[in-house]
Chain A
Amino acid sequence: MKRALPVFVLTIAGLIPVWRYAPSTGTTTTEAAEIAPTPSSTTSSSPSSSSASPSASSSSSASAAASQVVKGSTVNTSKGAVQVEVTFEGDKISYVRMLQQPNHPQTTAAVPKLIEETLQAQSADIDTVSGATITSEGYIQSLQAAIDAKGA
């Protein structure tokens, strides 16, 4: 975490750390100091911007006249306590932000040295296929359908 922090400040200035990392199931030890406020909906820090400090965009008290900010109750999810704050513009929601998230450290690591390869078109013995298979037409044509037909 100590090493990740400076990188984080440089790359995502003005934005909160992301605490939750799904596989870990540690208990929630929420500390007030770590619940940094999220930026308001108008903040549009670019990832490379390093000018803004994370604490600069301190509050999202939405400035529009008709807006209303409502805090949700704290709920305990499988990953820890979560609380949302919802901003209404009239009766429409304009923004949702997290007041509490499970206290898991942001887990950005260094970028590993990436390997470049040529695109292959192969067939092989497989158990299943990962791919964007959302429509039924796509499924019918897919290798997964063939695997399912074989197993049925």
Chain B
Amino acid sequence: MGFPVSLRIDDEDVPEAAADGLFAWLREVDARFSPFKPDSEVSRLDRGELAADGLSADLVEVLGLCEEYRVATGGAFDARLPGRGLDPCAVVKGWSVQRAAELLAASGATRFCLNAGGDVVTAGGPWRVGVRHPERADRLCTVLEITDGAVATSARYERGDHIVDGRTGRPATGLLSVTVVARSLTEADATATAAFAMGAEGIEWAAAREGCEVFAVDAEHRVVRTPGLPVAT
């Protein structure tokens, strides 16, 4: 479940080890939380090889987030779809990249832009964050200005109908893409994925979440956004 990670640090005096630590953390996350690795903690939990009190604090936190969003979406967002194994990827990605950004900040970085598979965490901006056009890989559909915060986009254009509406068990097709701006990538990424799973009604749902700004393109190519979206001038 690899994804490309781009990191730009504009501080002058951040040790190179800071970036090494960030990538080491992301590799560790993949080893521990990937449902595609048979010896990961997630796979072992799913096979019933771990007792409930033998879970790591990180996994408990991830499961808590999965449950939080499942409840908040009325089941549209579900890490445990019928007939499938436990798959917390949608939460793990944002959560782990947010943690990576915090590791970076703890090692002294104050001005950076971290992009992991299209999910962005920034510090010490302003940073200009383009949102990919849902149908043209070489074009943007809007540009945001983010100082300290996170941007995540869920869409169908790359892996097709991979996000399933847990309420119906069918692929979510109501939206072409949805972008969420929030204080943390944990919130932005999970909210974007959950809103995408909900379809058109996910736009209002995400817009009502405290601290979230939303930019969405629906299946009819209509753009809907919140008034507080930090659009760059």
- Chain A residues with Cβ below 8 Å from B74 are 12, 15, 45-47
Name A11-48 residues within 8 Å CB distance of B.
Answer: 12, 15-16, 18, 20-23, 38, 44-47
- Chain B residues with Cβ below 8 Å from A63 are none
Inter-chain contact B132/A134, CB cutoff 8 Å: no
- Chain A residues with Cβ below 8 Å from B204 are 111, 114
Name B180-216 residues within 8 Å CB distance of A.
Answer: 182-184, 186-187, 203-204, 207-211
With both chains docked as a complex, state the minimum distance between the C-beta of A14 and any C-beta of chain B, in angstroms: 10
Question: For residue A117, which residue of chain B has the nearest CB?
Answer: B223
Inter-chain contact B118/A129, CB cutoff 8 Å: yes
Which of B64, B129, B153 is A20 in contact with, Cβ under 8 Å?
B64
B1-32 interface code vs A (CB 8 A; 1 in, 0 out) = 01110101000000000000000000000000
Question: For residue B131, which residue of chain A has the nearest CB?
Answer: A130
Inter-chain contact B61/A79, CB cutoff 8 Å: yes
Inter-chain contact A127/B127, CB cutoff 8 Å: yes
Kindly state the interface size class of chain A when it binds its partner. Answer: 35 or more
A84-118 interface code vs B (CB 8 A; 1 in, 0 out) = 11101011110111100100000111111111111
Which of B57, B118, B140, B225 is A133 in contact with, Cβ under 8 Å?
B118
Inter-chain contact B132/A142, CB cutoff 8 Å: yes
Q: Does B105 sit within 8 A of A, measured CB to CB?
A: no
Most buried by A among B52, B68, B232: B52
- Chain A residues with Cβ below 8 Å from B131 are 129-131
- Chain B residues with Cβ below 8 Å from A141 are 137-138
Q: Does B40 sit within 8 A of A, measured CB to CB?
A: no
Interchain Cβ contacts under 8 Å between A and B, 12 examples: A44-B167, A70-B51, A70-B52, A82-B64, A84-B52, A91-B48, A111-B208, A128-B128, A129-B115, A130-B152, A136-B2, A136-B4
